[in-house]
C-alpha cells in the first residue's frame, strides 16, 4: 500500500451526497441547480457534514441521469454555468467544507462529440477513443455493444446502458488474433488516459477537492483480477501526487484491496456483489429491523476480509443509501432508523449520508422511470424542506417537478424535524457531533468485532485510536438480548438511543431498539 498523499480533511470527513436534480431549485424550473445547493450549504454544515459528493453535473442528454456525459468540460445548463459551479466550490470552502465531483471515466453518452467522430468510417483523432471491434459481425465478448448505427464497420462495446459506449483504456492481455483489442500502452488507450487527466486537471484547477469515481474498476478490459486497472489508477495517482497532492479520490469499486492499491483513498461498500451490505438494511429480514430476524455475521465476515486486505485501514465507506438503491426508510422505520445511523456513524471509513436520509425520506412507490432511473427513481424524489409549495423544493407547478414528490400527508420535512428534539434529524446531528469529538470513532480508527454471531443480536464492536477505546453496542431488535463482555462497563457512556442497559458480572443485558457508545 503506497498512498503518498492523503488529504488530512478526509480523516474526519462526513459526506452528504447531493443529487443535483432533486435538492433545491432556485429558478423555478422544477429541477434543482447550483444556486439552490449554495442556498442550502448552511443546512448541511449545521447537520455536521463537512464534505459533499455531487452526482454528475455535466452536459448530458440525461439518459442515465447525467452518468452519460456529452461534454466533460461544461456544466449542464439546467444546473447553471461553470462559473456558478466554481462559485459553489468557493462557498463550500468558505464554510470549511470540501466537495467531490462525480467523475465518469468508463463511458460517455452516444452524443459525445468523441463518439460521433469515432463512428465515422474514415480514420480520425477519435477512432480509437472507444472499444470497437473491426467488423460489424463481431461483438466484443461479454460487454454488450452498439452496432449498425453508423458507417464504421465495427461494433462498439458498452459499459453500462446500451447508450454508454466504453472508452478505450486498452485490454489487459489483448488476444493476438483480435487486432482490434488494443493494449494498455497503445496510442489510443494512452490518449484516453491523458484526456482523463486533463478533465481532472480542469476541475481540480477550478477548485473542486477531488472525485467520486464511477465504476472505477471497469476501465481496462478483460482484466479479471483488476491488475491492469490498478496499474492505470497508479498512473493517475502519480499525476495527482505531482500536480494535485491534496485531491481526494473515492472509488465506486467495492474491492478495497484493489482500489487502495490503485491509489484511491477510500472505496465504497456496494449494494451488489459480495459485500453483504444489503443484509443490513435492504433484504427481506434486514439486521436493522425490530423483527430481529436478520443476520449480520456474513457482513462482518466479508468486512473483516476487506479490512485485512486493505492493511487494516478501514477505508471502506458505508453509505446510508445512494441514488442507486432503495431509500433506507423503505425497510427501516422509526427507531430502527436511529439505531441504523448509530451504526453508520460509528464505523470506520467516511460515512456518506444520502440527501434526505437524515429525515427518513421515503422511497416513492410506483413512479414511472425518469432519466434512466427505473426502479431507482423512487429514491431520487425532490428534497422535502418544509410545508410550503412542493415542500420548499421548487416554486414550479407540481407536475413540472423533476420527479413526483412523496405526497403523503405525514411526509417528513426538514423544518418539522429541526424543531422536534426527538426527530431522526436531531439524532443524526447528535451522532455526528459524537463522532467528531472522538477520534476512535472516525475514519481511520481501528475496529474489532466482539459479538457478531450468526442470526443473533446484539452487534458489538470496539473502535480504537491509540489508547482510546470506545465500545459500541447495537440492538435493533424489539427484544432484550445479552452477551458476555470482557470490559468492565463503568458509567462512561458517551451516547445512547434507548435506555436501560444493565451489567451483571460481565454479562450485559441490552434493551430492545438500543444503541450505545461507551469509553472503556
Ligand atoms: C454507477 C452510478 O452510481 C449509476 O447511477 C450509473 O447508472 C452507473 N454507474 C453507470 O454510470
What percent of the chain is predicted at pLDDT more than 70? 99
Q: What is the pLDDT of residue 129?
A: 98
CB of 215 closer than 6 angstroms to any ligand 1 atom: yes
DSSP states along 304-347: HHHHHHTTT---EE-BS--TTS--GGGT--HHHHHHHHHHHTTS
Q: What is the pLDDT of residue 272?
A: 86
DSSP states along 497-511: ES---EEETTEEEE-
Which residues make beta-bridge pairs with 43? none
Q: What's the pLDDT tens digit per position in 308-320? A: 988 777 689 999 9
- Answer whether residue 85 shows pLDDT above 90: yes
Cis ω before 458 (30° cut-off from 0): yes
Closest residue to atom 3 of ligand 1, CA basis: 324
Ligand 1 atom with minimal separation from the 322 CA: 3
Ligand 1 atom with minimal separation from the 159 CA: 10
Ligand 1 centroid from CA 252, angstroms: 9
CB of 67 closer than 6 angstroms to any ligand 1 atom: yes
Which residues make beta-bridge pairs with 425? none
- Answer whether residue 490 shows pLDDT above 90: no
Q: What is the pLDDT of residue 335?
A: 94
Ligand 1 centroid from CA 10, angstroms: 24
Give the whole-angstrom CA distance, residue 353 versus residue 49.
9
Burial class (CB in 10 A: 0-12, 13-18, 19+), 187: exposed
CB of 160 closer than 6 angstroms to any ligand 1 atom: yes
The closest alpha carbon to 86, from 53, 40, 46, 38, belongs to 38
CB of 371 closer than 6 angstroms to any ligand 1 atom: no
Ligand 1 centroid from CA 323, angstroms: 9
**Complete edge-to-edge strand list for the sheet that includes strand 459-465:** 446-451, 459-465, 468-475, 514-519, 493-497
Closest residue to atom 4 of ligand 1, CA basis: 324
Ligand 1 centroid from CA 372, angstroms: 10
Q: What is the pLDDT of residue 4?
A: 52
Tell me the C-alpha to C-alpha distance, in Å, between residue 506 and each of 107, 494, 502. 56, 20, 10
Q: What's the pLDDT tens digit per position in 8-60? A: 999 999 999 999 999 999 999 999 999 999 999 999 999 999 999 999 999 99
Reported confidence tier of residue 231, pLDDT bands at 50, 70, 90: very high
Closest residue to atom 5 of ligand 1, CA basis: 324
Q: What is the mean pLDDT of residues 216-238?
A: 97
Q: What is the mean pLDDT of residues 375-401?
A: 98
C-alpha cell of residue 189: 488507450
Give the whole-angstrom CA distance, residue 196 versus residue 67.
15
Q: What is the pLDDT of residue 498?
A: 93
* Spacing of C-alpha 143 from chain mean position: 24
- Answer whether residue 180 shows pLDDT above 70: yes
Q: What's the pLDDT tens digit per position in 110-142? A: 999 999 999 999 999 999 999 999 999 999 999
- The CA dihedral of 21, 25, 30, 34, to the nearest 10 degrees, is -50
Could you give phi then psi for residue 378, rounded to 5 degrees? -65, -15
Helix (H, G, I), strand (E, B) or coil at 367: coil
Q: What is the pLDDT of residue 315?
A: 86
Reported confidence tier of residue 2, pLDDT bands at 50, 70, 90: very low
C-alpha cell of residue 81: 454555468
Ligand 1 site-directed mutation target among 100, 110, 112, 160, most atoms within 8 Å of CB: 160
> Across all residues in the chain, what is the average pLDDT?
96
Q: Quote the strand ranges of 215-311, DSSP E.
A: 248-251, 266-268
Ligand 1 site-directed mutation target among 53, 62, 64, 211, most atoms within 8 Å of CB: 64
Q: What is the pLDDT of residue 165?
A: 98
Ligand 1 centroid from CA 475, angstroms: 33
Q: How many CB atoms lie within 10 A of CB 520?
A: 15
- Answer whether residue 392 shows pLDDT above 80: yes
Burial class (CB in 10 A: 0-12, 13-18, 19+), 330: middle
Reported confidence tier of residue 1, pLDDT bands at 50, 70, 90: very low
The closest alpha carbon to 24, from 355, 476, 431, 456, belongs to 355
CB of 324 closer than 6 angstroms to any ligand 1 atom: yes
Q: What is the pLDDT of residue 467?
A: 93
What percent of the chain is predicted at pLDDT more than 90? 93
**Residues in CB range of 155: below 8 A, 6 or more apart:** 132, 133, 135, 136, 138, 139, 140, 145, 146, 147
Q: What is the pLDDT of residue 271?
A: 85
Task: Evaluate whether 447 touches 348 at the Cβ level (below 8 Å).
Answer: yes
**Residues in CB range of 200: below 8 A, 6 or more apart:** 103, 211, 236, 239, 240, 244, 247
Q: What's the pLDDT tens digit per position in 414-448? A: 999 999 999 999 999 999 999 999 999 999 999 99
**Residues in CB range of 177: below 8 A, 6 or more apart:** none
**Through-space distance between the first and last CA atoms of the chain, rounded to whole angstroms:** 31
Ligand 1 site-directed mutation target among 324, 354, 376, 377, most atoms within 8 Å of CB: 324
Amino acid at each position: 500500500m503506497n498512498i503518498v498523499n492523503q488529504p488530512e480533511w478526509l480523516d474526519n470527513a462526513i459526506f452528504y451526497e447531493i443529487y443535483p436534480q432533486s435538492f433545491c431549485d432556485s429558478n423555478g424550473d422544477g429541477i434543482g441547480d447550483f444556486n439552490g445547493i449554495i442556498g442550502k450549504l448552511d443546512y448541511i454544515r449545521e447537520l455536521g457534514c463537512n464534505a459533499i459528493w455531487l452526482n454528475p453535473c455535466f452536459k448530458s442528454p440525461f439518459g442515465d441521469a447525467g452518468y452519460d456525459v456529452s461534454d466533460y468540460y461544461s456544466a449542464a445548463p439546467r444546473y447553471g454555468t461553470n462559473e456558478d459551479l466554481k462559485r459553489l466550490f468557493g462557498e463550500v470552502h468558505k464554510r470549511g467544507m470540501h466537495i467531490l465531483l462525480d467523475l465518469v471515466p468508463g463511458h460517455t453518452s452516444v452524443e459525445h462529440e468523441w463518439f460521433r467522430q469515432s463512428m465515422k468510417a474514415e480514420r480520425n483523432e477519435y477512432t480509437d477513443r472507444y472499444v470497437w471491434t473491426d467488423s460489424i459481425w463481431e461483438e466484443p465478448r461479454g460487454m454488450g455493444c452498439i452496432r449498425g448505427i453508423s458507417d464504421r464497420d465495427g461494433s462498439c462495446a458498452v459499459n453500462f446502458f446500451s447508450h454508454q459506449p466504453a472508452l478505450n483504456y486498452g485490454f489487459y492481455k489483448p488476444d493476438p488474433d483480435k487486432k482490434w483489442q488494443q493494449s494498455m500502452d497503445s496510442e489510443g488507450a494512452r490518449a484516453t488516459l491523458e484526456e482523463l487527466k486533463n478533465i481532472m486537471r480542469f476541475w481540480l484547477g477550478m477548485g473542486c477537492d477531488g472525485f467520486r469515481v464511477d465504476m472505477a474498476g471497469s476501465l481496462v478490459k478483460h482484466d479479471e483480477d483488476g491488475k491492469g486497472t490498478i496499474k492505470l489508477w497508479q498512473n493517475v495517482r502519480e499525476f495527482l501526487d505531482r500536480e494535485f497532492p491534496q485531491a481526494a479520490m473515492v472509488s465506486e469499486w467495492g474491492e478495497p484491496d484493489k482500489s487502495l492499491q490503485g491509489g484511491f483513498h477510500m472505496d465504497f461498500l456496494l449494494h451488489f456483489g459480495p459485500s453483504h451490505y444489503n443484509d443490513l438494511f435492504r433484504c427481506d429480514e434486514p439486521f436493522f429491523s425490530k423483527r430481529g430476524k436478520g443476520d449480520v455475521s456474513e457482513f462482518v465476515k466479508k468486512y473483516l476480509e476487506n479490512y485485512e486486505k486493505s492493511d487494516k485501514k478501514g477505508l471502506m465507506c458505508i453509505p446510508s443509501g445512494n441514488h442507486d438503491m432503495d431509500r433506507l426508510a423503505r425497510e427501516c422505520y422509526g427507531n430502527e432508523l436511529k439505531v441504523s445511523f448509530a451504526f453508520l456513524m460509528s464505523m470506520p471509513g467516511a460515512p456518506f449520508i444520502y440527501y434526505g436520509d437524515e429525515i427518513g425520506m421515503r422511497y416513492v412507490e410506483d413512479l414511472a422511470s425518469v432519466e434512466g432511473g427505473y426502479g431507482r427513481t423512487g429514491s431520487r424524489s425532490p428534497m422535502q424542506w418544509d410545508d410550503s409549495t412542493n415542500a420548499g423544493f421548487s416554486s414550479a407547478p407540481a407536475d413540472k417537478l423533476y420527479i413526483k414528490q412523496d405526497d403523503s400527508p405525514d411526509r417528513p420535512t426538514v423544518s418539522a424535524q429541526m424543531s422536534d428534539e426527538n426527530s431522526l434529524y436531531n439524532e443524526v446531528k447528535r451522532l455526528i457531533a459524537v463522532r467528531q469529538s472522538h477520534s476512535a470513532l472516525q475514519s481511520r480508527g481501528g475496529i474489532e468485532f466482539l459479538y457478531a454471531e450468526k442470526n443473533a443480536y446484539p452487534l458489538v464492536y470496539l473502535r480504537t485510536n491509540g489508547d482510546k477505546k470506545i465500545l459500541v453496542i447495537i440492538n435493533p431488535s424489539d427484544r432484550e438480548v445479552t452477551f458476555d463482555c470482557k470490559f468492565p462497563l463503568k458509567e462512561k457512556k458517551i451516547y445512547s438511543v434507548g435506555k436501560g442497559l444493565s451489567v451483571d458480572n460481565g454479562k450485559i443485558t441490552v434493551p430492545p431498539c438500543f444503541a450505545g457508545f461507551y469509553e472503556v
